[in-house]
């Protein structure tokens, strides 16, 4: 009986320890989250501009360019080797590039430019988040 209890205890400690190690590892690599939070910030600024109906062309361009360059960090930083994931990240880059090239000058153009970007964020999140 005592041996069984000790074995069980060992198992529980092992599980708890593993969970803790995973947490520490996640905390040690803040980059995946940092990349996403950065993109979320710029996407948020753009949707605030849309809501306020104040779509300054230079500001929109700045946020789009920041997202475009940040998105190039997704694949190396997440280290997820699945084709679906890397395809989604590639799709995001293509769409960001198109938006940067479109250089939206007003709110209507900005709304049209970020719609496909938001769709890509959402579709990857549905799968991987």
Residues that bind ligand HEC (CB under 6 A): 32-33, 36-37, 39-40, 43, 67, 74, 85, 88-89, 92, 117, 120-121, 124-125, 128-129
Q: How far is the CB of 56 from ligand HEC (least distance, A)?
A: 20
Which residue, among 115, 103, 119, has the nearest Cα to 55 in the 3D structure? Answer: 103
Give every CB contact of residue 109 below 8 A, 6+ residues apart in sequence: 55, 102
Q: Least distance from C-beta 108 to ligand HEC, angstroms?
A: 20
Q: Give whichever of 6 and 21 is closer to ligand HEC, judged by the CB atom.
A: 21
Using the minimum distance from each CB to ligand HEC, give the nearer residue, 10 or 128: 128
**Which of residues 8 and 37 has its CB atom nearest to ligand HEC in the complex?**
37
Helix (H) / strand (E) element for 93: namely helix 83-102
Tell me whether residue 113 or residue 124 sits nearer to ligand HEC (CB atom).
124
Q: Give the span between the Cα atoms of 79 and 94, in whole angstroms.
A: 20
Nearest to 72 by CA among 92, 57, 48, 52: 92
Min dist CB 50 to ligand HEC, Å, is 14
The SS3 call for residue 129 is coil
Nearest distance, CB of residue 91 and ligand HEC, angstroms = 7
Torsion angles phi and psi, residue 121, rounded to 5: -55, -50
């Amino acid at each position: 009986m005592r041996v069984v209890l000790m074995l069980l205890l060992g198992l529980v400690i092992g599980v708890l320890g593993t969970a803790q190690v995973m947490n520490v590892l996640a905390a040690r690599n803040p980059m995946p989250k940092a990349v996403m939070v950065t993109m979320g910030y710029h996407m948020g600024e753009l949707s605030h501009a849309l809501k306020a109906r104040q779509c300054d062309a230079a500001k929109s361009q700045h946020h789009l360019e920041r997202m475009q360059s940040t998105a190039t960090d997704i694949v190396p930083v997440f280290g997820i080797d699945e084709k679906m994931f890397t395809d989604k990240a590639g799709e995001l880059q293509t769409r960001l590039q198109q938006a940067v090239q479109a250089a939206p000058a007003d709110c209507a153009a900005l709304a049209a430019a970020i719609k496909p970007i938001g769709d890509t964020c959402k579709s990857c999140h549905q799968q991987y988040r």
